[in-house]
């Protein structure tokens, strides 16, 4: 449905814009905004504890001119970060941790590995440089495995194929998923990336498809994240907030964070459980 609205709106706007230049720059005074702390922390079993603590800015604050300055401006140093699990407190010192495998940067890090425990909580506590507190709690979810990946070539145009990814949902629990797939490289922008839940699933079988877009030799990376409700809400709200810019049909939304405390922070503290399949298109 969203696609229909976007397509229709695009057609309509394009037709109307063809009548003349219907865009112009304007100036408006936005209300004052005090920056907030922003937390991103994903607990992946078997991976080190790492957390990114940044700050937000007023919308029209100037941008630094180079990447290093941009990053330095963004990162919040000198906070005290602790993650507690089963009575063990893991302190994450303020230390830049560039994950070379993923290209992601974190500024609080502890090399201890996240235990694979689905039955007890992980708790986060951050004391910010100005003495305020950010807290959050989460629990890991087990991986929901991809059952099978099926490549189908189109009957009319047998040079193009689609990929169907099947999994089995536990119909006795409320489950949330994030589905993404990449073409040829995980470092590229995903071709599909959305969250969903099992509200409408009748018999536990779920399939995710693609268009008939792929040629022989293409590599498809299918990833299914099993996510919790907090992450589902947060990610949807981030995407909705981004999409609200420039789409007159969409409703702006607050960022739905699961971090609490008197620091009034934005962010997400969640486990990361996923199954990833790599398929090379072949007949």
Partner 1 sequence: MNHKTTPLPVILLLCSLNVLLGQQVTISGTVNDDSNGETLIGATILETTSGNGTSTNEYGFYSLALPLGNDTLTVEYSYVGFQTRRLRILPNKDRKVNVKLGTGIELQEVVVKANSYQEQIRSTEMSVEEITTREVKVIPALLGETDILKTIQLKPGIPSGSEGTTGLYVRGGGGDQNLIVLDEAVVYNANHLFGFFSTFNTDAIKDLKLYKGGFPAQYGGRLSSVIDVRMKEGNNQRFAGTGGIGLITSRLTLEGPIQKDKSSFIVSGRRTYADLITRQINKANEDKEDYTPIPDYYFYDLNTKVNFTLGEKDHLYLSGYFGRDVFNFNSDFFDFNFYWGNVTGTARWNHVFSPKLFANTTYTYSKYNYNIETKVTGFSFKIGSDVQDNNLKTDFYYALNNRHTLRFGVNTTHHQFGVGRLKAGSDDGEISFSGGNDYTGASFGAYLADEAAFGVHWKVNYGLRLSGFTNDNKFYAGVEPRLATVYNVNPDLSFKASYARMYQYLHLVTTSGIALPTDVWYPSTSKIRPQYSDQIAIGVEKVLGGKYLITNEYYVKWLNNQVDFVDGARLFANNDLESEFAIGRGYGYGLELSIEKQEGKLKGWIGYTLALVKRGKFEPLDASRNFSDAGNYFFPRYDRRHDVSVVAMYDLSKRITLSATVVYGSGDRTWMPVGRFTFQEVYGGDPQEFVPVFGERNAIRLPYFFRSDAAIVYRFFPKWGESDLTFSVFNLTNRRNAFFLYIEPQYENKDEPLENPIAIPTGLKLKQVSLFPIIGSITFNFKF
Residue from the set 14, 32, 87, 215 that interacts with partner 1 by CB under 8 A = 32
> Cα torsion at 260, 262, 265, 269 (round to 10°)?
-30
Q: Minimum distance between the CB of residue 187 and partner 1, rounded to whole angstroms?
A: 9
Residue 142 CB partners (closer than 8 Å, separation 6+): 118, 226, 273
Nearest of 94, 95, 71, 78 to residue 130 by alpha carbon: 78
> Does 2 participate in binding partner 1 (rule CB under 8 A)?
yes
Contact 163, 141 (CB under 8 A): no
> Does 192 participate in binding partner 1 (rule CB under 8 A)?
no
> Does 241 participate in binding partner 1 (rule CB under 8 A)?
yes
> Does 13 participate in binding partner 1 (rule CB under 8 A)?
yes
> Does 251 participate in binding partner 1 (rule CB under 8 A)?
yes
Residue from the set 91, 116, 184, 205 that interacts with partner 1 by CB under 8 A = 205
> Does 242 participate in binding partner 1 (rule CB under 8 A)?
yes
> Does 211 participate in binding partner 1 (rule CB under 8 A)?
yes
Nearest of 107, 140, 139, 117 to residue 39 by alpha carbon: 107
- In order of 22, 32, 170, 186, 222, the CA distances from 29 in angstroms are 22, 9, 50, 41, 44
- The site for partner 1, by CB under 8 A, has a size of 98
Give, as ranges, the residues between 126 and 155 that touch partner 1 (CB under 8 A): 152, 154-155
Rg of the Cα atoms in the chain: 22
Residue from the set 14, 46, 63, 88 that interacts with partner 1 by CB under 8 A = 63
Residue from the set 46, 88, 100, 202 that interacts with partner 1 by CB under 8 A = 202
- In order of 24, 46, 93, 204, 219, the CA distances from 111 in angstroms are 51, 10, 10, 38, 33
Q: Minimum distance between the CB of residue 176 and partner 1, rounded to whole angstroms?
A: 12
Nearer to partner 1, 121 or 229 (CB): 229
- Per the listing, tokens 């971090």 go with 259
253-268 exposure pattern, b = at least 16 Cβ within 10 A, e = fewer = eebbbbbebebebbbb
- Per the listing, tokens 């992601």 go with 104
> Does 100 participate in binding partner 1 (rule CB under 8 A)?
no
> Does 183 participate in binding partner 1 (rule CB under 8 A)?
no
Residue from the set 14, 46, 65, 131 that interacts with partner 1 by CB under 8 A = 65
> Does 88 participate in binding partner 1 (rule CB under 8 A)?
no
Nearer to partner 1, 151 or 266 (CB): 266
> Does 54 participate in binding partner 1 (rule CB under 8 A)?
yes
Residue from the set 117, 193, 218, 277 that interacts with partner 1 by CB under 8 A = 193
Residue from the set 53, 144, 214, 233 that interacts with partner 1 by CB under 8 A = 233
């Amino acid at each position: 449905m969203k696609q229909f609205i976007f397509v229709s709106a695009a057609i309509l706007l394009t037709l109307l814009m063809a009548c003349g230049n219907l865009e112009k720059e304007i100036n408006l005074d936005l209300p004052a905004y005090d920056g907030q702390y922003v937390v991103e922390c994903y607990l992946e079993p078997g991976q080190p504890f790492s957390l990114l603590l940044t700050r937000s800015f007023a919308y029209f604050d100037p941008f630094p001119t180079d990447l290093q300055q941009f990053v330095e401006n963004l990162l919040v140093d000198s906070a005290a970060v602790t993650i507690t699990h089963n009575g063990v407190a893991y302190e994450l010192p303020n230390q830049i941790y560039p994950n070379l495998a993923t290209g992601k940067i974190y500024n609080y890090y502890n090399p201890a590995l996240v235990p694979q425990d689905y039955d007890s909580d992980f708790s986060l506590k951050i004391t910010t440089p100005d003495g305020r507190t950010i807290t959050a709690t989460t629990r890991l979810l087990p991986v929901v495995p991809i059952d099978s990946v099926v490549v189908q070539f189109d009957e009319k145009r047998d040079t193009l194929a689609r990929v169907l990814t099947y999994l089995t949902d536990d119909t006795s629990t409320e489950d949330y998923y994030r589905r993404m797939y990449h073409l040829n490289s995980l470092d590229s922008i995903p071709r599909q990336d959305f969250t969903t839940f099992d509200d409408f699933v009748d018999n536990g079988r779920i399939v995710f498809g693609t268009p008939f877009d792929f040629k022989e030799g293409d590599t498809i990376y299918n990833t299914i994240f099993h996510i919790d409700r907090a992450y589902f809400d947060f990610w949807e709200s981030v995407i909705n907030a981004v999409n609200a810019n420039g789409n007159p049909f969409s409703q702006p939304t607050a960022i739905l964070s699961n971090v609490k405390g008197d620091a009034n922070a934005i962010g997400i503290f969640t486990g990361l459980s996923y199954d990833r399949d790599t398929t090379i298109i072949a007949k």
